[in-house]
A and B are shown apart, each in its own frame.
Chain A
């Protein structure tokens, strides 16, 4: 029974990670690619760690695997935020299909100081 559950979880995790990889190739610019990398990547890696925890059946291994999954959930959004922010401050243009850009003109200098919405308009 446990091997069936771990098998299903592992295949799901692998498919999710595959979709994340395809998304990084298919999406048009850095900002949309970060969506694929941050969400699907986190869930895929997290599912694999949970699978390890279930499969091992030992507290020492399970606690470490679950701690790893928790840190994935904590750190993936931060790296996504930093990459997207750094790209925008460095002047990487969003894809031409971008509809609304409320961020435009709010970075006041190259150090990345950001003004609030009501300050400007």
Chain B
């Protein structure tokens, strides 16, 4: 699948070379035109999975931006409210994803989302340790991550 992305980028570069001007707009337009060309040949070269994945990745990015804004709102409320009662915890999260880049992505997403911060991954890549700033139900938190980000990552990257 990543081969098709590389072909797409190379075609965009070729588009710029033919035009003779490497501006960002030309590169983006070339990318759009070449993905259109790949889309036309989806029957012959089976590229439809590549486009399906494109939408999944876009959905992951949008989910992430939404969660980032929500997380800032939540932390802001914890900061400015008058009472100081917090329930911070270190929580272990059993990982379903196995590959290094998937774990990295999941850990980064967890850090930038509401009330959670990844601290470390165990040496055998099976458990992710998370620090939560204010948690009542540990199992609900694990379920949220497993059914939210982890499932989205597996859909988008596999």
Contacts and interface: CB of A to CB of B under 8 A. Distances in A.
Interface of A: 16, 19-20, 22-23, 26-29, 31-32, 34-36, 38-40, 42-43, 59, 63, 73-74, 76-78, 80-81, 84-85, 88, 94-95, 97-104, 106, 112-119
B80 A94 contact: no
A16 B76 contact: yes
Nearest to A112: B120
Contact residues of A: prevailing secondary structure: helix
Interface of B: 23-25, 68-69, 71-72, 75-76, 78-80, 84-92, 94, 107-108, 111-112, 115, 117-124, 126-127, 129, 131, 133, 135, 138
B86 A28 contact: yes
Contact of B90 (A78, A101, A112, A118): A101
A112 B111 CA distance: 20
A30 to B, nearest CB: 10
B124 A116 contact: yes
A63 B22 CA distance: 13
A103 B76 contact: no
A84 B124 contact: no
A84 B119 contact: yes
A97 B108 CA distance: 26
Given A74-B108, A94-B88, A23 B79 contact: yes
B120 A114 contact: yes
28 contacts: A19-B79, A19-B80, A23-B75, A23-B76, A28-B84, A28-B86, A31-B119, A32-B133, A35-B117, A35-B133, A39-B71, A39-B72, A39-B75, A39-B112, A59-B23, A80-B111, A94-B88, A95-B88, A99-B89, A99-B135, A101-B89, A102-B89, A103-B92, A106-B92, A114-B129, A116-B122, A117-B127, A118-B94
